[in-house]
Amino acid sequence: AQSVTQLDSQVPVFEEAPVELRCNYSSSVSVYLFWYVQYPNQGLQLLLKYLSGSTLVKGINGFEAEFNKSQTSFHLRKPSVHISDTAEYFCAVRKTSYDKVIFGPGTSLSVIP
């Protein structure tokens, strides 16, 4: 079975500073990896996904993530955050397109003016 760990439950960061949100997964098979963002009182929005190929994936709103198979990690990064990036971020895995998506517990990103 697959599982997702997000090591930091809360990450405060000053505006225009860089940020990294950490994600590790466990799986006995190859998986597809995702990052979703959830703004208050809203559903989840897909930021980016890794299916295959280049290990560096670029997404919306200036975010990117790097897949590291040996470390089973998929960390999310942004070089300069804005106030509007304040939200909950979820890392997720999926075995095939027919399978369920398994979400991590989430990381709350707070951008400080």
Partner 1 sequence: ETGVTQSPTHLIKTRGQQVTLRCSSQSGHNTVSWYQQALGQGPQFIFQYYREEENGRGNFPPRFSGLQFPNYSSELNVNALELDDSALYLCASSLVGQDANYGYTFGSGTRLTVV
Q: Does 112 bind partner 1 (CB under 8 A)?
A: no
* Strand ranges, E, within the chain: 3-5, 10-14, 19-21, 24-26, 32-38, 44-50, 56-58, 64-68, 73-78, 87-94, 101-103, 107-112
Residue (102 or 111) nearer to partner 1, CB? 102
**Among 23, 78, 81, 106, which residue sits at the site for partner 1 (rule: CB under 8 A)?**
106
Per-residue contact string for residues 27-46; x = within reach of partner 1 by CB under 8 A: -----x-x-x----xxxxxx
Q: Which of 91, 36, 90 is nearest to 61 (CA)?
A: 36
Which residue in the set 63, 67, 74, 90 belongs to the binding site for partner 1 (CB under 8 A)?
90
72 binds partner 1, rule: CB under 8 A: no
Q: How far apart are CA 28 and CA 99, in angstroms?
A: 15
Site residues (CB under 8 A) for partner 1? 32, 34, 36, 41-46, 49, 51, 90, 94, 97-106
